[in-house]
Amino acid sequence: MKTLYEPWPWYIAGPVIGITAAVLLYIGNKRLGVSSTLRHICAACLPSSGIPLFGYDWRKELWSLFFITGIILGGFIGGYLLADPLPVNISSDTSDYLRSKGVDVEKGGLLPAALFSWENLASPQGLLLIVAGGFLVGFGTRYAQGCTSGHGIFGLATFQWPSLVATVSFFAGGILFSHFVLPWILTL
């Protein structure tokens, strides 16, 4: 790390992410998991919906809303104040592939700006990538009762075999869509 703007190598980012799982337990027996906050926000916004999934006192889970507020702030510090001006240094195989599908890989930024923008939101691509994609993330994580953090990191680190099944499954789903569905969306 020569400057604060440079991205972190995996051997720095990974251990820091791992440590947070232990820190949350140490502070107050909290288990790392982010997708549950989507449920808590639904429960807070729709208090008397009559849906069993949201019929609990979300105030008891207030800590996790502080945690995600921290993630937003962390994103602001790492991705805005200390934003890396250079494009993400992905492998040439990936950049050649994405370029062949019409994605601008030279522009810089963590997301391809032409796809993930307000201007593109109402296009078929924007609707599929942002709206349908987000919907699948929210639906699937609740159905599976966890996401990359709760199953993929916390669950695996505490040797919970259902989390291993979950992790293998979400990688399988991602590989399938990245190879076979995304290319079709990118050529729309």
Q: Does 64 bind other proteins (CB under 8 A)?
A: yes
Residue closest to 61 by CA, chosen among 83, 29, 84: 29
Instruction: Count Cβ atoms within 10 A of the Cβ of residue 145 and give its class: 0-12 exposed, 13-18 middle, 19 or more buried.
Output: middle
Q: How many residues bind other proteins (CB under 8 A)?
A: 130
User: What whole-number distance in Å separates Cα of residue 36 and Cα of residue 65?
Assistant: 10
The residues near 71 (Cβ < 8 Å, ≥ 6 apart) are 34
**Token pair for 185:** 């969306």
Closer residue to other proteins (CB): 11 or 85: 11
Beta bridge partners of 87: 109
Are 31 and 160 spatial neighbours (Cβ–Cβ below 8 Å)? no
**Token pair for 145:** 């009762």
Q: Does 124 bind other proteins (CB under 8 A)?
A: no
Q: Does 129 bind other proteins (CB under 8 A)?
A: yes
At closest approach, how far in Å is the CB of 122 from other proteins?
A: 11
Q: Does 58 bind other proteins (CB under 8 A)?
A: no
At closest approach, how far in Å is the CB of 102 from other proteins?
A: 13
Q: Does 44 bind other proteins (CB under 8 A)?
A: no
Q: Does 118 bind other proteins (CB under 8 A)?
A: yes
**Token pair for 124:** 């078929």
Neighbours of 132 (CB within 10 A): 12
Contacts of other proteins in 71-100 (CB under 8 A): 71-80, 82-83, 87-88, 90-91, 93-95, 97-98
Contacts of other proteins in 138-177 (CB under 8 A): 138-149, 151-163, 165-177
Contact with other proteins (CB under 8 A) among 47, 62, 100, 102: 62
Closer residue to other proteins (CB): 52 or 85: 52
Contact with other proteins (CB under 8 A) among 130, 184, 187, 188: 130
* Separation of CA 130 from chain center: 13
